Amino acid sequence: MGQRLFRTQRFLPLFITQFMGAFNDNFFKNALLLLITYKLALSDNDSAVMVNLAAGVFILPFFLFSATAGQLADKYDRALITRILKVAEIILMGLGTFAIFALSWHDAPAFLKSPLILLSILFLMGAQSSFFGPIKYALLPQHLKDNELIAGNAYIEAATYLAILLGSIFGGILIMRSNGEFIVGAGLMGVALAGYLASRWIPAAKPDASDLKVNYNFIYETWIILKSIRAQKVTYRCVLGISWFWAVGALMLSQLPAICKSIIGADETVVTFYLAIFTIGIGAGSLLCNRILRGIVQTTFVPLGALGMSIFIVDLYFACKGIHVSDTTMSIREFVRHFVCWRLAFDMLMIAGCGGIFIVPLYALIQHRTKQAEMARVIAGNNIVNALFMAGAALAVVLGLRTGLKIYEIFLFVAFINTLVGIYICLLLPGALIRSLVRTVLAILFRVEIKNLENYNKAGDRVLIIANHTSLLDGMLIASFMPEKVTFAINTHIAKKWWVKASCALFNAFPMDPANPLATRSLIEEIKKDRKCMIFPEGRITVTGALMKVYEGSGMIAEKSGAMILPIRINGAQYSKFSYLKGKVKTRWFPKITMTVLEPRRFEVDPVFKGRERRQKISAGIYDVMASMIYQTSEIDEHLFRSLLGAANIYGYERQLLEDQTRAVLSYRQLIRKSYIFGNVLRRRCRHEKYIGLMMPNSLPNVVSFWGLQAYDRVPCMINFTSGIAPIITSCQAVGVKTVFTSRKFIAAAKLEALDDALEKAEIKVKYLEDVKNSISIFELISGMLRYAMKLKPRAKADEAAAVIFTSGSEGAPKAVLLSHRNLQANRNQVLTVVPLNSQDRIMNCLPMFHSFGLSMGTVMPLLSGIRTFFYPSPLHYRYISELSYDSMATVIFGTDTFMAGYGRVANPYDFFNIRFAMVGAEKLREATIKLWMDKFGIRIFEGYGTTEASPVVSVNTPMYHRPGTVGRLVPCLAHRIEPVPGIEKGGELFIKGDNIMMGYIRHDKPGVLQPPADGWYDTGDIVEIDKEGFITIKGRAKRFAKIAGEMVSLTAVETAVNTLWPKNLSGIVTLADARKGEQLVLITNNMNADSASVLKHFRDNGLSELWVPRRIMTVKDIPLLGTGKIDYVTAKKLALEKFPASE
């Protein structure tokens, strides 16, 4: 956010104007101090006194004129006043130039060479600066947003001290040259002119108190302003803190020449060196403060900054005390050889850095709390007090030196007073020091990154903070990194623990007795007092890595208290030793932790819900908030291969990950190495080709080829070898596939020689992996190994194509679906948010990789999540798959209803003993299949719904939210709308929009032309009904409805009815034209005993319309199926037309 300010007119011209003004002030002032110290014939003590007098002269105008300056800045356009002041600066620099020239003019009158002339000009420069001071800090809140104030102040402070550094360096170096007076004079004029030009670009700043009557009695007006500030407790304390810092800073800087000359025995180059160190420290501290606070106005680190200054000032005292003055004046080259040089430099750096952390939040807090109409006067009052403190500090130093104190002894006194200031601040901000220390330790150990912290302020005062519970660190992270102390609801028994009492400096504990029904009401009343309260809705630390059960208490508290909900995602802590996932993920002591603060939201439940139903609705609502939070903070804008490398780091390169029917096993290391080597070979075999075909069954070579192409930004096109010769060639030509990689062994086993020949005739090259493997050259091998060793990452962006899947063509010609890296990443994270899978699971994937589910959920998702996966080439080998599931200890299996029914019929009751999650999609899950699996294996099957275009999962039943007969609830952050369909009373056609929706189609009639969904909305073509809990019921395809005698009949509903009649058989419905009723239904079934009478009786017994009864029945031994397991309705309809060529 801060860097964007430099691209705005709201900030950049002011920044440059301020920089030039600060540069000129210090350019002139430091030149003057060095003239007094080194060129004028004064004793050491007189030089020290004169130096402090010069400092006092410069700051005196701030005391005299700030009140008037504040009034003028509130009454008139601040941008206009700035330009007038810059003209005045040009005039003053002209006078200063003349005065400096006079020192080098031998014949000049004696009074022109008097230091008093230069001191007078310095006074006038201080006056000009005193008028500009209220303007610059008043312009910031007028032109910047609240969440930009910290950054704006940090950059202004850093720029101020950078200008001090450069001005002091150039002033010190140039003035000591033989013709230095002339160079300094020219520089003063040039910089003043540049500042004026920059000021002309400052946007107009309309005054908020144009009717203000200016009181030129500066004494009275000063008293009024200070009295007004005193009445504002927070502002007053900030002013005192800022003034004390300026007093310390001015004292440190003004004593540098005297320290270097009298204590160190060094020349002006050492003075310049320490000025640079001090200035760098201030700038670094200011920018670090901006980075830490993330745009939020807070004072957490102010006590730490104050006490840090004390510690290093004390060390500076001891360092100076131990120095023995050299007999000869040392240059910087000589001095840097001494250890004390670097000790002093470190002390100066840390004093200044702590000062930057100390002062930036105080300025921002004043601007945040003060009304705009009074802003300039408050800043003026601050400048008055600043001047008073700095003048007092200068006077104290002069008196101390006159009484015989050494300069470094004054430092010890300053450290003592500063410590008292730090203690006072700690009393004002109880717990801030502890919170800042804990935050610092956590930030260092865990590299904690907090995102979107600006949302914290957006939530307002009455807030319920909810977060996922990943580890024992979570509470400490929330308590330490929030801008203010948060109230934690804690069990009364836990609240009595010593460590909870000791942690009260980090948070406010609100003990709650879970057995007391009034405890929740007490917390609600506490939040109503405009408090921010923290609750973990899961109630326990996750043991799965995914969301656990969510209690409705947090939702009820938010609703009853009227609080905004502020979700916070903690990510990374689950990989620490403080999580409960040991053995499930590779834990380590200090993983990187990211905290993301999401947009606050209001939680409301429809008042029609009562009792238990209302509590369930609240629980579901909070769960949805948590699920959305987890998904929204997931990394979806990342290349798949980059994620694979990241997964290897998380789960370990030696983790065994892949296995196929050959029983070969690959680890992450082997997969990545083979991908680099083999991908390098594949891309060299088809140079300048982006889309490359892969036509292989589920196997390790197919997986390695897929990831190998990803490693080199090639797009694998997954060829559906079961779809037939013509559709395959059409699909390849549409996308522009010129080369297809396959296996000679596979072609022979699958008897696809005709397809092989047809591809060659269509000028699509077919290359066999066996030949490719045998032809790998030494150069290709070494090249791939080098890329593996360097872990070179692909360059494609996340929104570019990652894979091409071809639709099944069950209702027409196949279409090429382009899925981006972002699409696939989004869908896997959507699913993992609601489905409790973890790296201890083992997946049996027998769905082909040319199927969107087989690729996305069966390949990409598990490999990027550390889940071991068994790849089997065909889902139709029911007995083998059942046995392999038992042998591989599979815990997760995916399939269609047809496949699952097949496994259920032939499997031993113990084959699936280890399965804990079985998911079905692509076709309707029949009641008979559900009953078979529950009775035989004791396993509940979860039905889901997806489409290739959605990468593919749209909705899914989960252990948390499951309703039989539906396809579950939508995955997180997937927008939907229902369009009405004529003839359909309940529900309508489903349209969806989200990160997982495809890039678009490439159709055979427009080769190479990407056709994205209109406005991002994808028409699923499915007729659905969504109940009030969000569960989706599929009523059928929009294209799978028949209009019979004017009535809309769902072919899917008819199929479901027939399948309940003959649950052990497979049946499908197609339509043919009918001369009398428009369309007629034809039943195709593998039940050889099927008859119309049984169907009619079954429909009548179940109260179904006789319009639903199929007019024709066609029995076949084998129902035509696609490779995905769905019924091939195109082929089925051809069979029906062949048998019933003429409609009746």
Active-site residue list: 469
Report which of 196, 155, 172, 221 is spatially closest to residue 37, judged by C-alpha positions.
172
3-state SS record for 72-139: HHHHCCHHHHHHHHHHHHHHHHHHHHHHHHHHHCCCCCHHHHCHHHHHHHHHHHHHHHHHHHHHHHHH
Alpha-carbon distances of 483 from 292, 450, 480, 503, rounded to whole Å:
10, 11, 8, 17
- Residue 721 is encoded by which pair of tokens? 């070898």
Torsion sign (Cα): 668, 672, 677, 681: positive
Most distant CA pair in the chain: distance in Å?
Answer: 131
Burial readout 1037-1047 (b: 16 or more C-beta within 10 A, e: otherwise): bbebbbebeee
SS3 282: helix
- Cβ neighbourhood burial of 1073 (10 Å; 0-12, 13-18, 19+): exposed
Report which of 602, 591, 625, 597 is spatially closest to residue 833, judged by C-alpha positions.
625
How many whole angstroms separate alpha carbon 360 and alpha carbon 154?
6
Alpha-carbon distances of 203 from 78, 83, 143, 388, rounded to whole Å:
9, 11, 8, 32
Side by side, the strands of the sheet bearing 1078-1085 are: 1067-1074, 1078-1085, 1112-1115
Cis? peptide before 952, omega within 30° of 0:
yes
- Residue 867 is encoded by which pair of tokens? 């889940």
Q: What is the CA angle 1006-1011-1017, rounded to 5?
A: 150
Please write down the long-range contacts of 1140-1143, taking CB distance under 8 Å and 24 or more positions apart: 1140/1072, 1140/1082, 1140/1112, 1140/1114, 1143/1072, 1143/1073, 1143/1074, 1143/1075, 1143/1080
Alpha-carbon distances of 971 from 466, 627, 958, 995, 1065, rounded to whole Å:
21, 9, 11, 11, 32
How many whole angstroms separate alpha carbon 273 and alpha carbon 338?
14
Percentages of the chain per state (helix, strand, coil), in multiples of 5: 55, 15, 30
- Residue 1073 is encoded by which pair of tokens? 């034209």
Q: Please measure the distance between the N-terminal and C-terminal CA atoms of the chain and give it in whole angstroms.
A: 73
Burial readout 791-807 (b: 16 or more C-beta within 10 A, e: otherwise): eeebebebebbbbbbbb
Tell how strand 1032-1037 and strand 1018-1026 pair up.
antiparallel
The residue type found at 900 is: M
How many whole angstroms separate alpha carbon 1144 and alpha carbon 1141?
10
Torsion sign (Cα): 521, 526, 532, 533: negative
3-state SS record for 339-376: HHHHHHHHHHHHHHHHHHHHHHHHHHHHHHHCCHHHHH
Alpha-carbon distances of 861 from 434, 835, 952, rounded to whole Å:
42, 12, 12
Alpha-carbon distances of 160 from 248, 354, 441, 773, rounded to whole Å:
16, 16, 30, 65
Q: What ranges make up the beta strands (E) of 319-478?
A: 449-451, 463-467
How many whole angstroms separate alpha carbon 534 and alpha carbon 532?
7
The residue type found at 884 is: L
Q: What is the CA angle 407-411-416, rounded to 5?
A: 145
Under a CB-based contact definition with an 8 Å cutoff, are residues 508 and 488 in contact? yes
The residue type found at 598 is: L
